[in-house]
Structure 1
């Protein structure tokens, strides 16, 4: 049983068993113009999941952020997420991951009434659709080098879009270095540069606020100390 919701594909494999070694394929589905299939199979110890480009592709022209979620149907926050950046081509049309069946069996929420629920999605194309100019001047031809740069770009994006409180000043310095590295490689990442400048300004304001709070705490401590002295003297005078 399959269902597509936007750029997510949900597959429910019915009558699945962790001791069944048969291959279970989903129906073909399309995400961002490319056709895919999911494959699930067990070897008694490990559940193998694969996301495969179907026959007669064109292949994506950049690394794809592949994400597979094995859904815990009783407690969704316990779902298992596996993701990777993969460059699909004729030599490597499939990306897969493996999960020990012991983990899935012990929890009890992954296989409910024989149903195994898997969600597939990809994210990288959305980035280039929103910022089509980003890789126009990126000319690396070596596949592994291209993949490395894309992974580097995705990592930088994930870093810059974390909550501010989770980012240290050192993180922002490293992000600045990474941004320069990508620009030197030919990426146009003005939107990330603007995001980084905004984060730097907010981090400086945060640090300034922390300093003021510390100063006020010291002043408050001194006032309390003076108050206690004055209170003691008042008692003596009475």
Structure 2
């Protein structure tokens, strides 16, 4: 039985390990706008991506001419940093022939399961949020409805879709890697400065390639932080990531040198801080002892004055 949802948002926690054992995973259906909706999750054989789709369950049993125009979004929640959550949105028609729409590459399994990624929680759960706005229902077999929707809504739908289209929702290829629009300039600059970056990189799977590039960009972002913002633990994690990238075939001697220098400086910095903290502690202890001696001398001097009188 479907749950009635007053608000147009519902959550689904996917058991990731059950997901790996199943061909398809379905959320419990919910009723929004008089229709039953559910989410579908799967990963195609031979791919490295989690696919997520929204399905209008009722449309399968309805006449072929019925269509429903829907604005919806699907978000994979990052539990440690909301800004890192993965969100996609779309406005599109659902009908009997196409009762579900979504994204075959919502997120790579590499990014989803990476240590400390923030996506897997509660022993392997993935939190997904869907927001559904059922905007329009028409019968395409009724010419008057089709004419009305075409005249009154066509411009609104197209312009709204343009406004909703996020440039970072579109993958742009740079040297065989698909990156976000906001990352294109940086990736091009890296290849221009280091043309042999991927000369030993032989992986063919596009999703895995993209995941490694994202990891490289995250690593560079970490190393560009001010020294005071980094800890030895941060740099050790960066060192592990760099080792993984090098094993995958990236030529990163230039980044290895930068990381080693940063790690040496940070270790020296932390060592100096600990040494100064020890000195401060010793001097505070010595000062406390000195203050104690001073009070004793004052007391002794007072007693001596009394007896001399």
Q: TM-score range by the shorter chain?
A: 0.5 to 0.7
- Number of corresponding residues: 145
Aligned to 2:268, which of 183, 205, 221?
Answer: 205
Which residue is 2:44 aligned to? none
CA RMSD of aligned residues (A): 2.7
Aligned to 2:291, which of 204, 228, 232?
Answer: 228
What does 1:144-183 correspond to in 2, within 5 Å?
A: 144-183=207-246
How much has 1:230 moved relative to structure 2?
Answer: 2.2
Are residues 204 and 50 of structure 1, via their aligned partners in 2, closer, same or farther at CA, if it must alter by over 3 Å? Answer: closer
Which residue is 1:94 aligned to? none
Structure-2 separation of matches of 1:40 and 1:207: 52
Q: Flag structure 2 segments of 5+ consecutive residues without an equivalent.
A: 1-154, 302-309
Higher helix share: 2
How much has 1:155 moved relative to structure 2?
Answer: 1.3
Matched, 1:21 2:142: no
Listed one character per residue, the Cα deviations across residues 68-100 of structure 1 (whole Å, up to 9, x for unaligned) are: xxxxxxxxxxxxxxxxx6xxxxxxxxxxxxxxx
Q: Is the 8 A contact 1:40 1:48 kept in 2?
A: yes
Aligned to 2:200, which of 132, 137, 159?
Answer: 137
Structure-1 separation of matches of 2:173 and 2:241: 28
Structure-1 separation of matches of 2:244 and 2:231: 20
Q: Is the 8 A contact 2:178 2:210 kept in 1?
A: yes
Listed one character per residue, the Cα deviations across residues 214-234 of structure 1 (whole Å, up to 9, x for unaligned) are: 111211211221221222122
Aligned to 2:174, which of 60, 63, 80?
Answer: 60
Matched, 1:50 2:167: yes
Q: Is the 8 A contact 1:128 1:134 kept in 2?
A: yes
Structure-2 separation of matches of 1:126 and 1:199: 22
Structure-1 separation of matches of 2:245 and 2:156: 44
Q: Is the 8 A contact 1:41 1:48 kept in 2?
A: yes
State the structure with bigger RCO (CA 8 A, min sep 6), 1 or 2.
1
Structure with greater Cα Rg: 2
Q: Flag structure 1 segments of 5+ consecutive residues without an equivalent.
A: 1-19, 25-38, 68-84, 86-120
Listed one character per residue, the Cα deviations across residues 98-150 of structure 1 (whole Å, up to 9, x for unaligned) are: xxxxxxxxxxxxxxxxxxxxxxx632111111111111121222211211111
How much has 1:22 moved relative to structure 2?
Answer: 6.8
How much has 1:66 moved relative to structure 2?
Answer: 2.1
